[in-house]
Amino acid sequence: RHPESWESVSAFAPICNPTECPWGVRAFENYLGSVAAGKDHDASLLLASRGPFDKFDDILIDQGLDDQFLASGQLHPESIEAAAEAVGQKVTLRRQANHDHSYFFISTFIDDHITFHAKRLRLAQAKKRASAASSSTVGDTAGRPITCRAMVARAP
């Protein structure tokens, strides 16, 4: 909902379209009063209506093909793929054979997600530093008192 709050996005077996799955429908009706109220919390609908998000060069999703929740129609990764394609947002959806919704699945691919985020966080930090350096000028202190904390050594 708030892309400005994040530098990168990834997920393991997410509920991609909760307004269209039994869990999401039940949750939105019970907690928000209606499925319609849940549309502001549905990643596929948000991407389709507000994307693409230029800030994100890629969104990484891993989905186990043996995931019992995928098989029961709860996760809908195809919905986020369709939304991404419709708006031109790059999403890398990796369908992992022989993996379910378990700790083993996450532990197998967590290093990829950490590396994915680390790369993007480093780039964001470098951009912030470059922006701060370019906006700093000598005249920033013009007309204001300053405190000098430097010391110069000199011979007697």
Per-residue pLDDT of the chain (156 residues; tens, 9 = 90+): 888 899 999 999 999 999 999 999 999 999 999 999 999 999 999 999 999 999 999 999 999 999 999 999 999 999 999 999 999 999 999 999 999 999 999 999 999 999 999 999 999 999 988 888 776 555 666 777 877 666 666 666
Pick from 51, 54, 57: nearest CA to 116: 57
Kindly report the number of other CB atoms within 10 A of residue 61's CB atom.
23
Listed in sequence order, the residues at least 6 apart from 150 whose beta carbon sits closer than 8 Å to its beta carbon are none
Which amino acid does the sequence have at 26?
A: R
Torsion of CA 64, 68, 74, 79, to 10 degrees: 30
| Surface-to-core class of residue 41, CB atoms within 10 Å of its CB (0-12 exposed, 13-18 middle, 19+ buried) | middle
Q: How far apart are CA 150 and CA 4, in angstroms?
A: 39
Torsion of CA 25, 26, 27, 32, to 10 degrees: 80
Q: pTM for the full model?
A: 0.83
Q: Are strands 91-96 and 9-12 parallel, antiparallel or unpaired?
A: unpaired
